[in-house]
Structure formats: C-alpha cells, structure tokens
Amino acid sequence: MVRSIEVDLKDAQHVKKELLEKQEINLEYRPIKENGKIYFPVTESYSGETTEKDLQESIRPKVLSFKEALEPILTPQELEIVKTAYDVAGNIAIIEVPLELQSKEKGIGEALLSTNPLIKTVLRKDSGHDGVFRTQDMKYLAGEETKVATYKENNCTLTFNVEEVYFSVRLSTERKRISDQVQEGENILVMFSGAAPYPCVLAKNTLAEHIVGVEINPQGHEFGLLNVKKNKLQNVELHCGDVREVVPTISWTYDRIIMPLPKTAEEFLDVALPVANKGCTIHLYGFYHEEEFDKAVAEIDKYCKAANRNYEIKEIVKCGQQSPRTYRICVDFVVN
C-alpha cells in the first residue's frame, strides 16, 4: 500500500503541479483514477491528510534522482562534494555548485533538467544576498534562458526576477502562519515588501481591510505592482522608497506590522512604533544564534521604552536556518 491523496479530477492539474514543485509527489508510481477521483502517491514529507492505496499495478520505470543523473559525469570524489539540494521557483531550479565543480556546471544543470519535467531552467547562485536590496547574482546553466519565475503559493500567483529581487519560496509556510492570525478589518503594514508576497498572500487569504507595502528596490516594487494586478487584489497599496521616509507620509495607522528584513529590521522599530495602533501585533524578523534569541527581545525592549510603549512578547518562531544553530526567527509581539 502506498500513501496517496484523493483529488477531484477537476483539480488534478494544479494539485500535480504543486506536488511536483514541493517535491512531494512519489514518482515511483503513476497516479490512478477511480470513480471520478484521482489518487496521487506522495512522499514522506507530505504533511496533509492521506489514504493508503494499492498502486502495485502502476509502478513506473525508475526515475533517476539528481545524484543518479550525475553519476555518468562526475567522479566518485566529485559526487561526494556535489550539492543535490536545490530550490525551485516555478519552472526555475536554483542550485549551488562548489568552486571545484564549476568546470562541469553546465552538465550538472543538464542532469537536473533530465530528472524533473517541471524544471525548464537551471540557474546557479553566484553570490550571497547582497546590498540594500538583498539580491543574489544568478548564472544561467541550462534549459530555457530566463530569470523570471512565476510560481504559486497560498492561493496566489507570484512573478519575479530571481536575480533582481529578493524572494524566498521557503518562506511560504511562514506567510501562511501570519495570514492565519489576521482578523477581519485589520489594517496591515508590510515594510520591506519586495515583490509583494506578504501583501498578496494576506490580501488573498484574509479579511484584512487594507494592506500597505513599502519597498526600496524599484524592480521589486514593479513586480509587486504586477503581482497585485495579476491576483486581482483591491485592498493593497504599494509604495516604492525607504520605509524611513515613506511610512511617515502615509496617513494609515496599523493593527499589524510585518518587518521581514532579518539583518537590520530592528533598526526600523522607531519608524514602526509611531504608526502602530494600541494592540498592534508586530512581526519582527532577525537572524540569531539559538542561545541569543533574548538579544532580539532586548532590542524590542530598548525601542519600546524609547517610544514610551508597553509591549508583550507573544511568541518567538524559528522560520528558517541560516547556518548551524543560527536561525531566522520571527518575534511576534503586541504593543499597547
């Protein structure tokens, strides 16, 4: 018996695409149709509700894993150091290639293309997240030559250039976590809004009244406007500029403020607090070693005291890992 999910036939295409994107479809078996339903076999990492299905009749000829597809082109020593984990944004896969293997990087890109029909382009990370815009250089390796990805998350379609704009598909669960907290009628400020994933996800999935996003990177802002339009969202207002200059000029005050700039977000608490309504929830992101989460709280304490605001820490959530024992955390706190 194989772990599977039952899906209405009309939803088959988009469910299959989502499972492939999240690498949650078990490619060892073909899906089967029964009584107007289709059953997709899923991997262990799938966390939703599943049912057990007998799929013995639909075992596929074996699909090569990325590592297996690399065996013909890399030596055993090279196979030891190659990185087989990768991110997928829509049809674009983004891989890391160690310096020692860069002479073979085109072949590595081709090998990845051959393992997943949804991957049409392979790019290689060519830098860390740099500069004020937190963007990352990308080198084209294989497939269709593009750096513009269109991908789906949390009922939204989001388009962005993976090199010109910061974007992390890994934060989709975190966006869902915030979206689940939003109450009807809230006014929300998303500082550092990038290509507007938070504004779009919140507008699409909640009954928030109004959502303001502010982004300093003009290209990020342009993709944000495109995403708001594509998702037909009426209650999102995006501004291009530095939050320090722009936020004080907007007449709204907020019930929730999201601050997703993990390197330096706390330095903008003096901009956030004056526009936070009584009872406003602030989501402040930061990178902290697991033994130093209290440093984030100390920053909040410092800025709230300076602004003469009381605060209550609600939760500290790990929402990503930067390096061993150092996490991307979100501190959720309420200001009065």
Query: Site residues (CB under 6 A) for ligand SAM?
Result: 132-134, 166-168, 171, 192-194, 197-198, 214-217, 220, 242-244, 260-261
Quick one: 142 or 238, whose CB is closer to ligand SAM? 238
Q: Measured from the CB of residue 171, what is the shortest distance to ligand SAM in angstroms?
A: 6
- The count of other CB atoms within 10 Å of the CB of residue 198 is 25
Using alpha carbons only, give the angle 136, 140, 146 rounded to the nearest 5 degrees: 90
**CA-wise closest residue to 41 among 70, 65, 7:** 7
132, with CB counted inside 10 A (0-12, 13-18, 19+), is exposed
Q: Measured from the CB of residue 269, what is the shortest distance to ligand SAM in angstroms?
A: 13
Quick one: 203 or 261, whose CB is closer to ligand SAM? 261
Rounded alpha-carbon distances, angstroms, from residue 263 to 132, 309, 319: 10, 24, 14
Q: Measured from the CB of residue 207, what is the shortest distance to ligand SAM in angstroms?
A: 22
Residues 34-48 as b or e (16 or more Cβ within 10 Å = b): eeeebbbbbeeebee
Quick one: 141 or 258, whose CB is closer to ligand SAM? 258
Q: Measured from the CB of residue 317, what is the shortest distance to ligand SAM in angstroms?
A: 15
Distance of alpha carbon 214 from the chain centroid: 18
Q: Measured from the CB of residue 133, what is the shortest distance to ligand SAM in angstroms?
A: 4
Quick one: 264 or 310, whose CB is closer to ligand SAM? 264
Whose tokens are 């949650």? That residue is 24
Q: Reduced to 3 states, what is the DSSP secondary structure of residue 78?
A: helix
Q: Measured from the CB of residue 278, what is the shortest distance to ligand SAM in angstroms?
A: 25
Quick one: 38 or 162, whose CB is closer to ligand SAM? 162
Q: Reduced to 3 states, what is the DSSP secondary structure of residue 171?
A: helix
CA distance 235 to 213: 11
Quick one: 116 or 193, whose CB is closer to ligand SAM? 193
